[in-house]
Amino acid sequence: MGEEEYYLELCERPVQFEKANPVNCVFFDEANKQVFAVRSGGATGVVVKGPDDRNPISFRMDDKGEVKCIKFSLENKILAVQRTSKTVVLPEKRSLKLLKSHNINVNWYMYCPESAVILLSTTVLENVLQPFYFRAGTMSKLPKFEIELPAAPKSTKLSLSERDIAMATIYGQLYVLFLRHHSRTSNSTGAEVVLYHLPREGACKKMHILKLNRTGKFALNVVDNLVVVHHQDTETSVIFDIKLRGEFDGTVTFHHPVLPARSIQPYQIPMAGYLWNLQVKLQPIVNLLPDKGRLMDFLLQRKECKMVILSVCSQMLSESDRATLPVIATVFDKLNHEYKKYLDAEQSYTMAVEAGQSRSNPPLKRPTRTQAVVDQSDVYTHVLSPFAENKEMPHKFVIAVLMEYIRSLNQFQITVQHYLHELVIKTLVQHNRFYMLHQFLQYHVLSDSKPLACLLLSLESFYPPAHQLSLDMLKRLSTANDEIVEVLLSKHQVLAALRFIRGIGGHDNISARKFLDAAKQTEDNMLFYTIFRFFEQRNQRLRGNPNFTPGECTCQGKPGVTRLSKNPLWVGSLCVRRIPVSFYGNKVPNS
């Protein structure tokens, strides 16, 4: 079996400690994830190491006998040492105060430091669990609940064992995990893990059942919100994801392993003196989970998922592993669903801050951008742009994929960035699909934007109608009036530009020099006269005289030339006479 098929591995940097021997005792603290190495009862030294500790803690204690247990409080403020079965010693004496007490018969207990909840096993069968919640120096009693024990012959008396119970936070919710072993005489196909949801308010409820389909000895881990079950006999492990769709019977949801059972890599490790963290490798899972929709559901819940998701998108568009358009659409929809959730949360946070709710109690938290948020720039840079540049890919398929991604963005009401539209237009032009381009623009499949209109202008030499399409788009935007004027002037359509600016009521503030320069470049004397006459009339209406201000007219510098008169005059290099409008074809717009 190749290494690429293993999806569970041990961390690269384990915590190394002196292994247990007659002189050295080793203890592990679940709450702080710390390993204590106690030599000679502490007289020759105590070394404390954790997975995130760069500098281990070292100290010495007086040897007052065998150490049965040793732990630090949270943040390493208080050290507690247990040397007998009934006493706990705090080496540095401080005053203690009893805050609250409960009288209850306890068989065993289990504590979850992440959620500050303790479970107490009660009753003869040990299967009634009483939870308590600790917060800010107070202890709250939560509703007790009963663990359903498996059926057993009358001659056998079952009880709930501490080793079959675990507590873990999965997807932000606290669960009690019960490893239920079925007797060999039952019809069950194997053991199962039952998940009870333990909320802060309300009763505990059985929610999920993980079908192991095996018998024997098991161990449990929770890694990246995945339940990892290890089977001792086969030396393999399987993973479960309760967020994936399972079989719901109206009460609980049944789940099967997401992937085939595999061993943990590296398989050969030192036997003692190391504390390892278990990690999930996402890249090998891509080939082990052929259903792209289910694969995407799985990856989007993982912490380090973005680059793997992008590689999956690239793979399904490759020539060798090309997926169908419905599958591609499903993947895009799942990505944009997460993308939209983040955008909505960010917008809600911004609106709340602007409304002055940032100091509310509890204070607002800015949405966290997880790696599951794959935005348009990510897809464009890592997937669509390289895909569109692949010359061997059929252009019809390329266009279909690009439009499918844009459709998905529109479906979730996400504003499409202009570079995606540009990529579509570039692909259409490269393959002479101008009729498709025209249809996409005419029916607004490609959203209007200034960058897109400018791109259309650059395509006029290849596709002449692109010029008018660009002008129509700028007109629809209603915020690109200056750009429309510049486009018309660059095409020497001076009268059209003047009519447009007059139509939007901006003719009183425009620069006369710009229009006169453009008219002069046309070398059309009648056109120049028309434009000159328009601005002369505007000056008369606004200022009471037809004269131009210094620098406003191209005729500045010619002695005595400030307005049109009955006599011939020179404006720039043009000779202008006062000619009735009816003698030439250009109609002068009213000023």
Instruction: Report whether 262 contacts 7 (CB < 8 A).
Output: yes
CA dist 287 and 266 (Å) reads 20
Strands 24-29 and 34-39: antiparallel
Q: Which value, to the nearest 10 degrees, does the dihedral of the CA atoms of residues 449, 450, 454, 459 take?
A: 10
State yes or no: pLDDT of 357 exceeds 80.
no
State yes or no: pLDDT of 153 exceeds 70.
no
State yes or no: pLDDT of 554 exceeds 80.
no
Residue range 317-343: mean pLDDT, rounded: 96
11-41 pLDDT, tens digit each: 888 888 888 888 899 999 988 889 999 998 8
> What are the φ/ψ torsions at residue 425 (nearest 5 degrees)?
-65, -40
292-299 helix and 325-354 helix, angle to the nearest 10 degrees: 30
Map 239-306 to HEC letters: EECCCCCCEECCCCEEECCCCCCECCECCCCCCCCEECCEEECCCCHHHHCCCHHHHHHHHCCCCCCH
Q: Of the candidates 538, 541, 546, 545, which has an alpha carbon nearest to the alpha carbon of residue 511?
A: 538
Question: When comparing pLDDT for 522 and 325, which is higher?
Answer: 325
Residue range 384-411: mean pLDDT, rounded: 95
Q: Of the given ranges (3-17, 199-213, 367-381, 423-437), which has the lowest mean pLDDT?
A: 3-17
Instruction: Report whether 159 contacts 180 (CB < 8 A).
Output: no
State yes or no: pLDDT of 474 exceeds 60.
yes
Instruction: Report whether 43 contacts 23 (CB < 8 A).
Output: no
Going 567 to 568 to 571 to 576, the CA torsion angle's sign is: positive
306-316 helix and 325-354 helix, angle to the nearest 10 degrees: 150
562-575 pLDDT, tens digit each: 344 333 333 333 33
Residue range 504-525: mean pLDDT, rounded: 82
State yes or no: pLDDT of 559 exceeds 80.
no
Token pair in block for residue 204: 């505990």
* Sequence-separated (6 or more) residues with CB below 8 Å from residue 448: 473, 476, 477
Question: When comparing pLDDT for 156 and 207, which is higher?
Answer: 207
Residue range 281-294: mean pLDDT, rounded: 94
Percent of the chain having pLDDT more than 70?
87
Instruction: Report whether 132 contacts 120 (CB < 8 A).
Output: yes
101-117 pLDDT, tens digit each: 888 999 999 999 889 99
CA distances to 4, 239, 406, 472 from 442, in Å: 49, 51, 16, 10
Please state, rounded to an integer, the average pLDDT across all residues of the chain. 85
Cβ burial, residue 147 (10 Å; 0-12/13-18/19+):
buried
pLDDT at 509: 73
Q: Of the candidates 542, 531, 512, 526, which has an alpha carbon nearest to the alpha carbon of residue 582?
A: 526
Strands (E), 276-397: 278-280
CA dist 230 and 232 (Å) reads 6
- How many other β-carbons are positioned within 10 Å of the β-carbon of residue 333? 18
State yes or no: pLDDT of 374 exceeds 90.
yes
pLDDT at 362: 66
State yes or no: pLDDT of 242 exceeds 50.
yes
State yes or no: pLDDT of 464 exceeds 60.
yes
State yes or no: pLDDT of 577 exceeds 80.
no
CA distances to 453, 530, 577 from 581, in Å: 36, 9, 11
pLDDT at 584: 34
Q: Of the candidates 43, 85, 35, which has an alpha carbon nearest to the alpha carbon of residue 60?
A: 43
Instruction: Report whether 228 contacts 212 (CB < 8 A).
Output: no
Q: What is the DSSP string of 484-510?
A: HHHHHHHTT-HHHHHHHHHHTT-TTTS
pLDDT at 585: 39
